[in-house]
Structures are given as C-alpha cells and as structure tokens.
Amino acid sequence: MALLNILHFPDPKLRTVAKPVTVFDPELRQLVRDMFETMYEAPGIGLAATQVDRHIRLLVMDVSDQSNHPRCLINPEIVEADGEEETDEGCLSVPGFYEKVRRAEHIRVRAQNDFGETIEFEAEGLEGVCVQHEMDHLDGKLFVDYLSSLKRNRIRSKLVKQMKQKDFD
C-alpha cells in the first residue's frame, strides 16, 4: 500500500484530460487500493486519478458516514441527468476553500468496476454531487471553474502564496 501525492490548483497537470482504461489488470487494482488509502487518509469522500497525476478514467469514492462503502468507477458516463441543486463543494486539490456549485440533482451513471464489469446505478444528494465532481477532474475541470474569475483568481493567489511559504518552512 502507498499514499499518493495529491496535486494542488493551479498545477497545470490537473488540466489533463484522462484516457479510457482498456486493461483491467492487477496493476490497475493496486492503483485503486492506493487511491482508496490516499482518499481515506486525506480524508475525502472522493478522489480522481487525475489528482494523483495518473491520467486514466478512474475514480474512487465513499460518501458513507462510517467510510465503509468504497466504490470504484472506471470509464464512468452519466447516461441521464435531471433537476438542479446547489451544494457547498470542497476539493482535496483546492484545500481550505468551499463554494456553492450548481449541478444535476439526480443522475444515472454507467461505469465499469476494477474487473471491467459494467455497473449502472442512480445517484442523488452528496453521492450524485461527488460523482459529477470526480468526473469533472477526469476532464481536467475543477469546481473553481464554476466560480467568477474574481473568486477563482483570489483562491489561486492564496494557494500559490501558501505553497511558496511552505518552501521556506
């Protein structure tokens, strides 16, 4: 097992569009395990491969209170979406900032599991938000992209300042 390094905004690597997974082998399942370990340790409710600098269409999540419902989605697609809702979102790649984002209220998701089997399910509430947030990462998109450029640039400056400060510590 291994903890993976999480990239932070405005790292340009977070803008990479991830490629579909075609090989479902033990190496892939090892990455899935490492991503779960990294997500739980952070702690977070989701983690996309993009955030750990692996540019394949893979995400892990667990929105349960007790962190006992791990779910891994590979090559996920949203096949139906209804309604709109606004939720406060945060991101492990934008640490310390929380802002309202408008997303579909109810989605139907099709994906593969880590053995390549197709799975399909419906999601709403925090689970629905999390799937949409993680799928954005796979397309190089961050929740701050939905904010005004003024807010986004303020967040960018604060994070850049924090990172420079860390270099001195």
Q: Where along the sequence are the contacts to ligand GNR (CB under 6 A)?
A: 44-48, 51, 89-93, 129-130, 133-134, 137
Task: Look at residue 129 and give the partner it binds from Ni ion, ligand GNR, none, a contact being a CB closer than 5 to 8 Å depending on partner kind.
Answer: ligand GNR
d(CA 153, CA 92): 18
| Residue 72 interacts with which of ligand GNR, Ni ion, none, CB < 5 to 8 Å by class | none
**Euclidean distance between CA atoms 39 and 58, whole angstroms:** 13
Which residues does the annotation mark as catalytic?
A: 134
Task: Provide, rounded to whole angstroms, the least separation between the CB of residue 14 and ligand GNR.
Answer: 10
Residue 32 binds to Ni ion (criterion: CB under 5 A): no
61 is a contact residue toward Ni ion (CB under 5 A): no
- Beta carbon of residue 106, minimum distance to ligand GNR (angstroms, whole number): 16
What is the number of other CB atoms lying within 10 angstroms of the CB of residue 105? 16
Whose Cβ is closer to ligand GNR: residue 44's or residue 76's?
44
Q: Using CB under 5 A, which of 7, 72, 91, 111 touches Ni ion?
A: 91
d(CA 128, CA 102): 12
Nearer to ligand GNR, 14 or 28 (CB): 14
Question: Site for Ni ion (CB under 5 A): how many residues?
Answer: 1
Residue 44, contacted partner among Ni ion, ligand GNR, none, CB below 5-8 A by kind: ligand GNR
DSSP codes, 64-104: STTS---EEEEEEEEEEEEEEEEEEE--TTSTT--EEEEEE
Quote the CA–CA distance of 96 and 94 in Å, as a whole number.
7
Which residue number, 28 or 47, has a Cβ lying nearer to ligand GNR? 47
- The residue type of 26 is P
CA angle at 131 for the pair 141 and 104, rounded to the nearest 5°:
85
